[in-house]
A = this chain, B = another copy of it.
């Protein structure tokens, strides 16, 4: 995601207005590596800005996604997650408990982002690895043990 200053310029260029709500949301996302949901951000933001509405938050998030400043992705937990980190990296998502962390650098494609693909003007790229986290693997093992015991 670009800086608050650059985003402000971008909004004004589009004939839009730089409001305290937009700035607050942009600030909350800056350097955020927690892959927050809208609810996560709302909880954080309302501490300092109690009147902020979820509707406004969604509106600002959606425009950031359309601008390619933030990526939106799905972990299977029924909540949409957002990530302002558009630098080369990949996420690691657990297929059972749906937690997300950034994948080790070695796992990410070093291929440069093309400007154009099949006539599409490319803005950003997203990469996710899906598997089972250490905790869920232990859980699965424990369940197998139980099944074995039942056989005995």
Contacts and interface: CB of A to CB of B under 8 A. Distances in A.
Contact of A76 (B65, B121, B123, B137): B65
A21 B24 CA distance: 49
Interface string A31-67: 0000000000000000000000000000000100110
B125 A137 contact: no
Contact of A130 (B119, B124, B147): B124
Given A74-B73, A125-B129, A66 B80 contact: no
A70 to B, nearest CB: 11
How many copies altogether? Answer: 2
A111 interface: yes
A118 B95 contact: no
Contact of A95 (B74, B123, B130): B123
Interface string A69-101: 001111010001000000000001011100001
Interface of A: 15, 62, 65-66, 68, 71-74, 76, 80, 92, 94-96, 101, 103-104, 107, 109, 111, 114, 117-134, 137, 147
